[in-house]
Amino acid sequence: MAIILICSCTSENKKEKQDAGNPFLSEYNTSYNVPPFDKIKTEHYLPAIREAIKKQKKEIDDIIGNKEEPDFKNTVEAFSLSGYLLNEVLGVFNNIRESNTNDTLQKLAKEIAPMVSLHQDKIIMNAGLFKKIKTVYDKRESLKLGAEQNRLLEETYDKFIRGGAGLNDKQKKRMSNINQELSVLSLKFGDHILAENNFFKLVIDKKEDLAGLPKALIDGATDAAKEAKMENKWVFTLHAPSIFPFLQYSEKRELREKILKAYLNRCNNNDANDNKEIIKKILNLKTEKAKMLGYKNYSELVLAKNMAKNPEAVYNLLKQVWEPALKMGKKEAAELQAMITKEGGKFKLEPWDWRYYAEKLRKEKYDLDEEQLRPYFELENVKTGLFTVANKLYGIKLIPKNDIPKYHKDAVSYEVQDKDGSYLGVLYMDFYPRASKRGGAWMSNYREQQVRNGKDVRPVVTVVCNFSKPTAEQPALLTYEEVSTMFHEFGHALHGLLSKCTYIDLSGSSVTRDFVELPSQIMENWVEEPEALKIMAKHYKTGEVIPDALVDKIKKSRKYGQGFATTEFIAAALLDMDYHTITEPLSMSIPDFETKTLKAIGLIPEIPVRYRSTYFNHIFGGGYSSGYYSYTWAEVLDADAFDAFKKNGIFDQKTALSFRTYILEKGNTEDPMILYKRFRGSEPDIKPLLKRRGLL
């Protein structure tokens, strides 16, 4: 016994030393209490997550073991407050894995994901805990709860029901196994895309093959070649700042074809990074899960919680947009083919020709070349302009802070203050592509806003992008689309930073998928407004404000190309819906299923779907399964909502305060349509969206 006692004490002493050296397991001693990124090491995550799981288990046991009659405070609120440490650790781990990953982190994620999934399932499927939650839920009418408390109770009860709390023991075990397997499959899916993006390189060694390319793009390709240790060559990649300008400007048709085919065939090459079988497994597991919970398909399970409510509503919306968009897309294709023929081309328009000839036609129609705009959209000027727009709308200030720990040297950090100087949160912004960062752009939280122990815990928010890098000769100059993306993601950030909720489950962007894009998409509208453009668009060399003539060209051309843009997007949304409305295990091959869907809707071959299945990360690696439509649903909301700003003035304080009060501050504390109608006075109309896109 003595030996055992000594060993036990030694083990405990060793654990205490390990815990003492783990930044997650002690109070942060950093500015604004942000995670101490400079001290967090890979080996800290697993012990911290294990300790956090252990701690939350104790918190749950305390709720179940409480001898008092279950009520809102000792059961529902206590459950919401549990797991704080786990949220903190996962908030850091998941964000770092997305923005600054490595092989070790990717391997670790495949160990952590099923562990966390199992832990969460054990909580949601705990019969004793659910019994207490249900007891409170069943007497909710007599509790006289406030709106936010009532919303939390309803959402909590629904989380348990949808999580499998009502299943029998055998079904619970199967459900937990499904969730664990899905957690790993989605990670593999995303890892494969990252590997494919980093693997392909279009290497050019003849100067004549650079014909048509802007100097800035060539400079970027020179830098990429140096990074790859290739002398006297130029390297183009599948990252957005490289491939899309190449497709727009390269005069070498065979090279445009080569790079676009590589892009479209990502994870579809029957190699180690192939995603086809992963997709099939994901779909079949989700279908099984939905049926276990009493739904016909996975889409019904998802949409029951969204504003759309059911697949029929989504298909109806998409059809209303699809038909005029396809008509416009066919018209645009005919115009591009006519240009090819006029120039003496003997070939049929192909997907790798579209952006090239569309850019030429835009220049011909509107005397507007995207490269004319870039000098006016220097990243720092755009960022300053964005912050000014936010200040004019909501009175907030963003103050650069160099003393805040950062997770990567490229990230920049800001303290966000309200108009009265009070502290709102911390914002990180991270702009440039790197091999350790996944593609695209997103907003996320390292910490979400909530009230804890009577204290308002303010959020730590991050905005991550993949924009054009600065070169040796010039600063980062953005495309018009990149400017819109910055405004979009900042809109998400505002949703997190301005949150004024009590419970973490309801705060910030914790809203339905088809409502979460409203705060982001409405911000894009200011990019098109001359009054806002004049604030941020200044020539990087001369400081000259963008001239009225150029602003007028932007305004006149803003509906140009909407046939292509809308069609490629809606095709992806319909593909997502078709995948998630299957009612039986999928036996058809993924390419055949994709082809069947795109043929059925009549997508013309000149326009590729925005996301082919094997790299459709939104729905197979992220949280947008049966939810990609939400960008269009939210665009109906944002087009209708922005009409209020247009009517009253784009910086009208009364309208901005109303939007902040009823949308940005409220999170998921009430039904989103109720919140929207409080702001707007009525339900949204689809006509402003169709009018904006020139599809009426």
Which sequence positions are flagged as catalytic?
489
CA distance linking residue 478 with residue 475, whole number of Å = 10
Is residue 203 helix, strand or coil?
strand
Over the Cα atoms of the chain, what is R_g? 26
Neighbours of 268 (CB within 10 A): 19
Residue 606 CA: distances (Å) to CA of 185, 334, 356: 32, 10, 13
DSSP 294-358: T-SSHHHHHHTTSSS-SHHHHHHHHHHHHHHHHHHHHHHHHHHHHHHHHTT--S---HHHHHHHH
CA distance linking residue 340 with residue 190, whole number of Å = 38
Residue 422 CA: distances (Å) to CA of 25, 425, 569, 637: 29, 10, 41, 31
What are 12's two structure tokens?
């405990």
Residue pointed to by tokens 């914002």: 427
Nearest partner of 439 among 278, 622, 273, judged by Cα: 622
DSSP assignment letter at 470: P
- Cβ atoms 448, 459 nearer than 8 A: yes
Q: Which helix (H) or strand (E) holds 55?
A: helix 42-65
What are 592's two structure tokens?
């055949």
CA distance linking residue 216 with residue 467, whole number of Å = 13
Is residue 575 helix, strand or coil?
helix
> CA triplet 460, 511, 46: central angle to 5 degrees?
50
DSSP 618-657: HHHTSS-TTTTTHHHHHHHHHHHHHHHHHHH-TT-HHHHH
Provide the β-strand partners of residue 430.
464
What are 531's two structure tokens?
């009054």
- Cβ atoms 262, 202 nearer than 8 A: yes
Strand-pair category, 460-464 with 423-430:
parallel
CA distance linking residue 334 with residue 330, whole number of Å = 6
Q: Is 119 exposed, middle or buried (0-12, 13-18, 19+ CB in 10 A)?
A: buried
Is residue 263 helix, strand or coil?
helix
DSSP 413-461: EEEEE-TTS-EEEEEEEE-S--TTS-SS-EEEEEE--EEETTEEE--EE
Is residue 293 helix, strand or coil?
coil
